[in-house]
A = this chain, B = another copy of it.
Amino acid sequence: MEPIIVKYVEKPELKDPVLIEGLPGVGNVGKISAEYLRDHLDAKLMVKIYSKYLPPQILIKGDGTVYLVKNELWYYKNPKKNDLIILVGDYQGMSSEGQYELSYKVLEIVKEFGVKKIFTLGGYGTGQISDNPRVFGAATELGLVEELKKYGVYFSQTEPSGGIVGAAGLLLGLGKVVFGMNGVCLMGETSGYFSDPKSAYNILKIVKDYFQLDIDMTEIEYRSKEISEITTQVKEEQKEEERKEDLGYIG
């Protein structure tokens, strides 16, 4: 079989489109963000990508029907700035090689549509619940670093120390080396212990600003507050427990 099967649903004309990636990953921050964009911008499905580099699995919908796991490209015609091509999916590639092959194929496809710039969205797992999670950035060129700083993205000399693993990293890396594209990765600070809409909310605010998107943020704001309340509670319980442990240790 072809290692990657590409099914075009539509081949739209796009205006200087930017690829926005949000596949499953740390805290599902990228996934939540990109799917929110897709759903609340009423984006349109353009490409379905199946591959033996994805898990051998079908997923079941509520009505009892199934679909083969896949990645998808959706487009949004943005009246104010660049059009968007949004990459979402059920999984990332399963192996290193699969990761490379899938990212390469996505870049080949979006190049056809004129993509020159890439935004990859993801989570930066710190293992700690932060009250004010920041959005870290890393870019393929200094110009983008400077530009994104103006939108409140935090560029650290040392973080994330392990680099960026998976599609969020590879799309930028291969995009630059092979396709001459530039791009930035936005990483929402997150504990990494659960799906984190608050971290996604922070990323979405930047994306909304940067692309001047007319997008309703009510729902993600609501989910963000909801998770804040839960984590606040969890943190208090943790502190309580630590106090008890400390007493136990001393006593």
> Which single member of B50, B93, B185 contacts A177 (CB below 8 Å)?
B50
Question: How many residues of A are in contact with the other chain, CB < 8 A?
Answer: 59
The reply to whether B163 and A96 form a contact with Cβ atoms under 8 Å apart is no
The reply to whether A60 and B1 form a contact with Cβ atoms under 8 Å apart is no
Q: Please, which residues of chain B bring their CB within 8 A of the CB of A27?
A: none
Number of copies: 4
The reply to whether A56 and B177 form a contact with Cβ atoms under 8 Å apart is no
> Which single member of B94, B96, B160, B176 contacts A60 (CB below 8 Å)?
B160
Closest B residue by C-beta to A143? B65
10 A-B pairs whose Cβ atoms sit less than 8 Å apart in the complex: A55-B165, A57-B164, A57-B166, A57-B169, A58-B164, A58-B172, A64-B137, A64-B139, A68-B169, A68-B170
Q: CB within 8 Å of B: which residues of A?
A: 1, 5, 7, 50, 52-60, 62-69, 93-97, 99-101, 103-105, 137-142, 145, 155-160, 163-167, 169-170, 172-174, 176-178, 185
